[in-house]
């Protein structure tokens, strides 16, 4: 009884603290930002459904007595047609985001999903199946808009976790389609997948447009309304809008036309002005960094395991039913995607990428070694038959900690606001092209190198990717999108803005200055009632001002 009396207050305290924490989250607007994130990433669930569908579709089509019998070549086209149209969709989304907005593009993404899934569910010949996979693949490419939308509605301290929730939703879709494929025929699975796209469209109707996009298109009133909805705090919303408008003004000033001359000259300058942002270091540096990151990602075999899960387990043997093994992988992938999203707020991007790459390399090298020594034996006679499954699970676990999530997240972070939609779409289209090449060539790779050689190739790509990330990947955790942009700016531009933003001069007596005036200094404006004499950083001087105000000495 004494132990019970001691524990009851503890339980009450825990419940009270949880309730207070939840109320604080709702009160300060994080809950609405989370709700908008979940709505946007409804399309990411459909991405997972589409990507994992071929893993359960192909074995059913190749079974004896299947309504549609397919050859190995046709099977590779069914898998890859869900990818080959991804680059087209990503490019389309990039331009739609700039013209119609982030929210509208996310909503439009649901339409190809619905059309594609309906075609697949009604397929009675191989060509309808091809068409359905191709059209739904367009939507997979367009789903990159969700990452841009989430990056722009999030505050710096929340952006890592919220952006990393995209792969969580993808993993949820993969697990769902693996389970459905185990218990239902492929036509019924396709029909059920249509519901997810419908729900995503409906959910996006209830959330606001990206405040950053609204600001960049001269609609500050709507941007403020969106920020108030997301933050539930008018003062925070106004401060954030002020920062957005200043970012827009700086980008326009950097790209403004010189004094008008002749009409022909003005047109030439206008064209140059449009192209200029794409030729600056803030565009081409992130482009090269992300492109190589995606290349190492695809070379490490992440999407091979996703698209060919059941077939891969048939090749390596695991001691489990292939469908059950794929469900186990899907479940582990979902759990680790949640863990990875949590880690994004605790560790730097570079650290997670390096650890993830090294872990994937070790998993594939061990798996390849096992196949090298025991591939000549039938699966039932191999010792330690669980080793291949453990290697695949290990590969999936560490990939979800960094290598799978980070390139997609950073595609919505690294580019300037003026070209974020277009450049994000271009990078995503090339990334999907890499995925198509890896998925389409996987069967040929297995024939040419064997299972052990293929796994070793994946391990080598993961190891090289880890080295690359250690040397070149920028750190973005906890930084605003403007701060990230400045890292790629020319040194003189960066120094000029940093001086205007974080340093100022004033005399030591600051009786006429308050915190709001310090905030104005951070945005490049001199406080009122303050004479200029000495140089201090904003953080140091305000800390000193507070101590002096409290009667302490410095």
Helix (H, G, I), strand (E, B) or coil at 255: coil
Range of the domain at 111: 21-207+279-488
* pLDDT one-digit tens code per residue, 436-446: 888 778 878 88
Q: Taking 90 as the threshold, does the pLDDT of residue 341 lie above it?
A: no
Query: Does any domain span residue 239?
Result: no
List the beta bridge partners of residue 503: 537
Contact in structure between 477 and 502 (CB atoms under 8 Å): no
How many Cβ atoms sit within 10 Å of the Cβ of residue 359? 20
Contact in structure between 294 and 434 (CB atoms under 8 Å): yes
Grade residue 322 by pLDDT with cuts at 50, 70 and 90.
low
Q: So what's the pLDDT on residue 320?
A: 63
Query: Which has more confidence, 547 or 453?
Result: 453
Nearest to 409, CA basis, from 486, 474, 483, 487: 474
Query: Does any domain span residue 496?
Result: no
- DSSP code for 257: P
How many Cβ atoms sit within 10 Å of the Cβ of residue 99? 10
Stretch 114-131: mean pLDDT, rounded?
Answer: 90
Q: Which residue reads 């001359």 in tokens? A: 261
Q: Which of 100-109, 146-155, 273-282 has the lowest mean pLDDT?
A: 273-282
Q: Report the length, in residues, of the chain.
A: 554
Q: So what's the pLDDT on residue 24?
A: 58
Q: How far is CA 139 from CA 147, 189, 244, 427, in A?
A: 14, 18, 30, 16
Q: So what's the pLDDT on residue 106?
A: 93
Query: Does any domain span residue 544?
Result: no
Contact in structure between 149 and 26 (CB atoms under 8 Å): no
Q: Which value, to the nearest 10 degrees, does the dihedral of the CA atoms of residues 534, 535, 536, 541 take?
A: 30
Query: Which has more confidence, 280 or 169?
Result: 169
Question: Which CATH number characterizes residue 458's domain?
Answer: 1.20.1250.20
Q: Taking 70 as the threshold, does the pLDDT of residue 255 lie above it?
A: no
Q: So what's the pLDDT on residue 503?
A: 39
Phi/psi at 534 (5° precision):
-110, 160
Question: Alpha-carbon distance 351 to 518, whole Å?
Answer: 34
Nearest to 400, CA basis, from 200, 164, 46: 164
Q: So what's the pLDDT on residue 261?
A: 46
Q: Based on the structure, what is the number of domains in the chain?
A: 1
Q: Taking 60 as the threshold, does the pLDDT of residue 39 lie above it?
A: yes
Nearest to 300, CA basis, from 405, 79, 457, 451: 457
What does the block give as tokens for 468? 């690359």
Query: Does any domain span residue 501?
Result: no
Stretch 523-537: mean pLDDT, rounded?
Answer: 41
Query: Does any domain span residue 148?
Result: yes
Query: Does any domain span residue 243?
Result: no
Grade residue 333 by pLDDT with cuts at 50, 70 and 90.
confident
- Mean pLDDT: which of 24-33, 114-123, 403-412 is highest? 114-123
Grade residue 520 by pLDDT with cuts at 50, 70 and 90.
very low
Query: Does any domain span residue 146?
Result: yes
What does the block give as tokens for 204? 């996006």
Query: Does any domain span residue 372?
Result: yes
Q: So what's the pLDDT on residue 136?
A: 92
Q: Taking 70 as the threshold, does the pLDDT of residue 27 lie above it?
A: no
Grade residue 105 by pLDDT with cuts at 50, 70 and 90.
very high
Q: Which residue reads 């010949």 in tokens? A: 125
Question: Alpha-carbon distance 508 to 471, whole Å?
Answer: 43
């Amino acid at each position: 009884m004494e132990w019970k009396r001691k524990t009851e207050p503890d339980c009450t305290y825990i419940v009270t603290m949880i309730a207070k924490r939840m109320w604080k989250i709702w009160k300060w607007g994080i809950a609405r930002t989370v709700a908008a994130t979940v709505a946007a990433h409804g399309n990411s669930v459909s991405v997972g459904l589409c990507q994992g569908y071929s893993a359960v579709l192909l074995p059913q089509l190749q079974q004896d007595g299947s309504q549609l019998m397919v050859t190995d070549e046709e099977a590779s086209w069914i898998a890859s047609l869900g990818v080959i149209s991804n680059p087209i969709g990503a490019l389309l989304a990039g331009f739609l985001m700039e013209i119609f907005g982030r929210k509208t593009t996310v909503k439009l993404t649901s339409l190809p999903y619905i059309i594609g899934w309906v075609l697949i569910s009604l397929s009675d010949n191989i060509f309808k199946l091809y068409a359905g996979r191709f059209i739904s693949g367009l939507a997979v490419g367009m789903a990159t808009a969700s990452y841009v939308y989430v990056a722009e509605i999030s505050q710096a301290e929340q952006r890592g976790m919220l952006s990393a929730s995209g792969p969580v939703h993808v993993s949820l879709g993969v697990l769902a389609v693996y389970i459905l494929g185990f218990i239902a025929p492929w036509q019924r699975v396709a029909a059920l997948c249509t519901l997810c796209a419908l729900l995503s469209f409906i959910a996006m109707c209830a959330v606001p447009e990206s405040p950053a996009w609204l600001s960049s298109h001269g609609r500050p009133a709507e941007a403020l309304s969106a920020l108030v909805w997301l933050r539930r705090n008018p003062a925070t919303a106004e401060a954030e809008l002020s920062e957005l408008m200043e970012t827009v003004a700086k980008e326009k000033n950097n790209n403004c036309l010189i004094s008008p001359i002749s009409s022909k000259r003005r047109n030439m300058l206008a064209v140059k002005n449009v192209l200029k942002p794409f030729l600056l270091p803030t565009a081409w540096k992130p482009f090269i960094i992300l492109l190589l990151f995606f290349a190492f990602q695809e070379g490490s075999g992440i999407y091979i395991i996703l698209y060919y899960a059941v077939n891969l387990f048939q090749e390596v043997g695991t001691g489990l039913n292939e469908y059950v093994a794929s469900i186990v992988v899907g479940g582990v992938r979902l759990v680790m995607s949640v863990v990875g999203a949590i880690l994004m707020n605790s560790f730097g991007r570079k650290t997670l990428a390096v650890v993830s790459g090294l872990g994937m390399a070790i998993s594939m090298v061990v798996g390849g070694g096992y196949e090298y020594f025991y591939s000549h034996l039938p699966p039932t006679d191999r010792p330690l038959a669980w080793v291949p499954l453990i290697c695949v699970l290990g590969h999936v676990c560490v990939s979800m900690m960094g290598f799978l999530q980070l390139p997609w997240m950073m595609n919505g972070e690294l580019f300037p606001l003026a070209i974020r939609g277009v450049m994000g779409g271009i990078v995503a289209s090339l990334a999907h092209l890499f995925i198509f090449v890896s998925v389409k060539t996987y069967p040929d790779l297995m024939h040419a190198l064997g299972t052990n050689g293929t796994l070793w190739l994946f391990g080598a790509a993961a190891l090289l990717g880890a080295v690359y990330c250690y040397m070149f990947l920028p750190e973005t955790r906890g930084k605003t999108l403007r701060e990230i942009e400045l890292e790629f700016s020319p040194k003189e531009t960066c120094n000029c803005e940093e001086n205007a933003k974080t340093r100022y001069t004033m005399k030591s007596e600051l009786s006429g200055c308050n915190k709001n005036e310090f905030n104005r200094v951070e945005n490049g404006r001199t406080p009122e009632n303050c004479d200029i004499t000495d140089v201090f950083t904003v953080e140091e001087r305000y800390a000193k001002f507070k101590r002096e105000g409290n009667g302490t000495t410095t």
